[in-house]
Structure formats: C-alpha cells, structure tokens
Structure 1
C-alpha cells in the first residue's frame, strides 16, 4: 500500500471511524501503522492489538515505535489514556530511543494528559466552520513592540452568534490580531477583552532573529480578515485542509505545536487557522479563555 492509498484509507476512517475494524486488524497484521489517523477512534479490539505490539517495543526499530505511539494517540480512549499516563509515571526503557517522551505523542492527535492522567482536548473537533471573508483587511492602532508594525486583524468574531458558543468565551466580540512579520519567527501573544479590544502582551519575547520590512511598507501587505462562515461536517475536512477555518483539528504543516499560556502555563487550545492565498503557510490561533490571552504561530513547508 503506497502513501496515496494510506491517505485515502485515513479519509475513510475519518468518515466512519467505528466501521473500519476489519481493515484495521488487517493493517496491523501487515504492520501498517502510518499515518496514525488510520486508527482514529478505533474500537477496543483494535486498540488491544496495538497495545500488544507495544509489548515488543524494546526490540522494534524507533520508527516503528514512533508510528505505533501515534496510532494509539489517535485511538485516544480511556485505556490509551491510562497507558500513556503509566508511561509518563514510569518511562519504559524503549523510550530512550525516542526524541520526545511517549506521552508527548498525544499532541499529534490534539489532546494531552492532565495532571490526573485524564484526556484534555486541545481542539474543537466537532465544531468546524469555514472562515468567510470580511471587509478587506484591518489594522489596529496597537503596535508590535518588536518591529513597530500595527497589528493585523485575522478574525473578527461576533460572539452573539450561537455558532461560536463552543469557544466558551463570555463577551460581545473577539478579535484575533497579530504582527504578521514577527509571528513568522516566534509565538506572538495578545491580550483580549469581551468587547473586542486587543493589546500587545508584555509576555512577548523579541525573537532572536526577525527580518523586518520597513514600517512604511506595511500597507503593501493586505492581510485577509475573516468572520465565521457555514458549519462543516468532519468529513468535509478531508480535502484542502490547509485553508482558513474556525474550530476543527489543526492541519499541521510541521509537527504539532500547542503553546503554553504565559500566564497559567497550561497548553492553549487551537481555535482557528488563517490562510493567506497570496502567501505560503498557515497562521495557527490559540486561546486561553481563563487568562484572556490569544497566541499565534506560523508554519510553512
């Protein structure tokens, strides 16, 4: 089975995750564990077979262990959570051949273990909305303290819209803004309030390196502004995932990345991604509702 076949099958799993057990058992027998999304929300009998394979992890090549852990992360049920918590508490000998501890693999499936070893979701998988174009682009008077550019508004969300209640944000308006120069080099934090006001966060650290276009050239960059659009079903994310949207699972270009809130130190949930059709890459958006802090992070191939 080549990579194209695997992507098609992973798409089928996304549409009917509970109906693929027969195929998943066959893939396990053929030692097909990549991509891990092949085992998304797999049933208990499939999960048990994956865990059985992990019993031989010490004798397996690191890449095989890596793929098995990703597959388990996409299963993500209570037994998987228990197993990852056990590995966190007592790191197995085979974990030494990994680049990160076993429990960190859960981030690729957009969840993590909390302090009690339970699952904490870091994305709103069941709430997916297209990002509809707003009125051109918008720049705030608030400036980046690193390069001096005004902050560009990426999303302007009317919180009276019931479609956005899943965010758990109490207020009238939420505006997502960032420095479109500096977020390409570092995670940028802004502080937001219930009326849509945005301010530069003192938690920001100036990137060690950041190429700065002159401030006077800012108007040459027409950053698209988006508002909430129509609701999408999860299967509608199967194609063209590298697009602007609100909610859903992040379409990682590189490795999964969930910044820690600089205030409470908890991982910040993903809430949106921004795609400028005239530029490469995606800007990922995260929100800590408790601390009222937004983070943006840029990635490209």
Structure 2
C-alpha cells in the first residue's frame, strides 16, 4: 500500500501525499523501507516523510548535495532547498555532520539559498548552540492538551498594547504532574511554569514574558509592537480556557494545528508555515518548544498558538501562525 502511495505522490497526487504525511506523523518508521524508492522518484516533499531515514538514505542525500544535484532538473535552489530540509528533518548524525560541514564549506548552489545550512536544523526541531553542541528544541513525548474551563480568577494584568486582559495560556507544574515532567524534560525546567500572554496581540508578534519556577510570569518590557498592529481594536476577553494534560499521544508528531483535538503538550510542532522557534531575548539562542494550542479547540477558529521556553534565561514566548 505504501509503495503505491509513493508512486502516486511522485506524480502529484495530493491525496496520496496527505496519506503519506499522516503515516509520517503516526509511525514514521513505516516509511523507512520506502525511502530508496522516494529518492528514485525524486519525491522530496513534504520533508517530514524522511523523519526516520536510515544511514543508506542519508548518505544518498548527502552525496546528491555534494555532487551538485541540488541544482539539477532546472529547479535552481529549489531542489537543494528540499534536500537540506529532508536532511534536517531526519535529524540523523550523518545529516548533522553534513550540515555542519556545509556551514563552513557551502555546497554547490548554496549562494542562491536564503539561509546557511545550519539554519535548516530548526525545521527539524534541533539546533547547534554557540558552544558547538547539538540541542534538541523539542521533546519526544507528547500528550493531548485538553482545553477546560478555567477555574482560576483573572490575574488583573492587562496587555500594554491593546489593554485586553492577559490570557494564562499554560499553567504547568513539573514537580507535581508526571505528564508535564515528561513533556518538558528537554527544557530543564523544574517547578511551576505559568505562561501568560495577550491572545490578541500574539497573533501579530511574538510576545515574550519573564517566568520563574514559583509560577511567576510578567510581560517583558522589551516587547515591541509591530507597525501593522491594529490601533483601534479595543480590549478583548481572552479564552476562558486552560489546557490540561490528557492521554499520551502515540507519536510526538501527532499534534495538529488544524484539527479539533489537535492541541498538544510537548512533542513536535505542527507548523502551519515555516518553523519559527523564537530567539531568546536574553542570549539570542532558539527557545525550546513547549506545545501548541489550536484555534479549532478555542473558538472553532483557524491558526494555532505555539508556546516556547528558555529555562536558562527565564523567558517564555508565544507566537502564532495561520494559513
């Protein structure tokens, strides 16, 4: 069945592509035996199909980049871009070695790209820190994030930009909840984590807050409103909902920014657009991903809020994407 889907997807059958993408989310290893055929048919999109690529596949991909095949078939930088995305999504050690090498010795065609090779790592959910070590930005354990009516009282804090009451998008206790502890293990956080933001203005700009292990959360004074932020929208009440960890998901990739019930704590983000891991205001490094809250779970809307954390500097962030 998968081989048939691969052959159909290679001739632009959108239904087959969607079915393969669902397999990549639920059980990426099931696609591993078919990666050779995908390369033979030049099926490189979506890149997440190669999440579980093995040594043989990664070596073939690296060889294609080194041999200048990223410039082939009249696609210019388009094919090279896809090859680098595939390697980043694989997260394989051989892919990491190649991306590091190409950062200092760019491959053929790299001059037409818009970013260096290591920038692609963010699409795969990892990065190379300033000390040269690889750091995973996402966790390998995910839980359904169930939106429940909030039992707490509003904090009284308001958005400095639009005067809307701030929204407690997350109230998590690593020490008290095993699910939270597992989902946030990659962040190094301990204690209580409250992420408070403006549900309205976060749709227009990444909003940062200072957080502390006692549950403290405060608007970061360095947040800067973009010029396109509506000036006359007036205050809006935030969702009277608070996400609560539910059952564990079978795969860390099963969060959905589109579907009702897709809100997910931990795991890997379902980006609607390109990956957007905010840079920590304290140190400039990409922040760790915490989870997503889908618009379909809030008010039947589209789009999704993405939550992030950098434990070392004590910053949380919320950004938003929509189609």
- Give the TM-score normalised by structure 2: 0.84
Deviation at 1:121, TM superposition (A): 1.1
Match 2:68 to one of 49, 56, 61: 56
Deviation at 1:92, TM superposition (A): 3.0
Residues 152/22 of structure 1: CA separation in 2 closer, same or farther (3 Å cut): closer
Which residue of structure 1 aligns with residue 103 of structure 2?
A: 88
Residues 273/15 of structure 1: CA separation in 2 closer, same or farther (3 Å cut): closer
Residues 223/97 of structure 1: CA separation in 2 closer, same or farther (3 Å cut): farther
Which residue of structure 2 aligns with residue 295 of structure 1?
A: 317
TM alignment of 1:190-229, pairs within 5 A = 190-212=209-231, 215=234, 217-219=235-237, 221-229=238-246
Match 1:3 to one of 1, 6, 14: 14
Cα distance between partner residues in 1 of 2:276 and 2:199? 18
Cα distance between partner residues in 1 of 2:255 and 2:164? 36
Which residue of structure 2 aligns with residue 156 of structure 1?
A: 171
Deviation at 1:256, TM superposition (A): 0.6
Cα contact 1:130–1:230 (8 A) shared by 2: yes
Match 1:135 to one of 131, 149, 170: 149
Cα distance between partner residues in 1 of 2:42 and 2:146? 42
Residues 174/235 of structure 1: CA separation in 2 closer, same or farther (3 Å cut): closer
Which residue of structure 1 aligns with residue 40 of structure 2?
A: 29
Which residue of structure 1 aligns with residue 3 of structure 2?
A: none
Greater Cα offset, 101-110 or 58-67: 58-67
Matched, 1:281 2:303: yes
Deviation at 1:162, TM superposition (A): 1.6
Deviation at 1:33, TM superposition (A): 0.9
Deviation at 1:252, TM superposition (A): 0.5
Deviations along 1:51-82, whole A, 9 cap, x unmatched? 12212236422221111111111222111111
Cα distance between partner residues in 2 of 1:295 and 1:204? 11
TM alignment of 1:231-270, pairs within 5 A = 231-234=248-251, 237=254, 242=259, 243-270=262-289
Matched, 1:165 2:176: no
Structure 2 stretches lacking a partner, 5+ long: 1-7
Which residue of structure 1 aligns with residue 5 of structure 2?
A: none
Deviation at 1:116, TM superposition (A): 5.2
Deviation at 1:299, TM superposition (A): 1.0
Cα distance between partner residues in 2 of 1:19 and 1:157? 34
Residues 236/67 of structure 1: CA separation in 2 closer, same or farther (3 Å cut): closer
- Give the TM-score normalised by structure 1: 0.89
Deviations along 1:80-114, whole A, 9 cap, x unmatched? 11110111112234111222222212211111223
Cα distance between partner residues in 2 of 1:122 and 1:10? 22
Residues 88/226 of structure 1: CA separation in 2 closer, same or farther (3 Å cut): same
Deviation at 1:18, TM superposition (A): 4.3
Which residue of structure 2 aligns with residue 78 of structure 1?
A: 93
Cα distance between partner residues in 1 of 2:80 and 2:247? 40
Matched, 1:46 2:57: yes
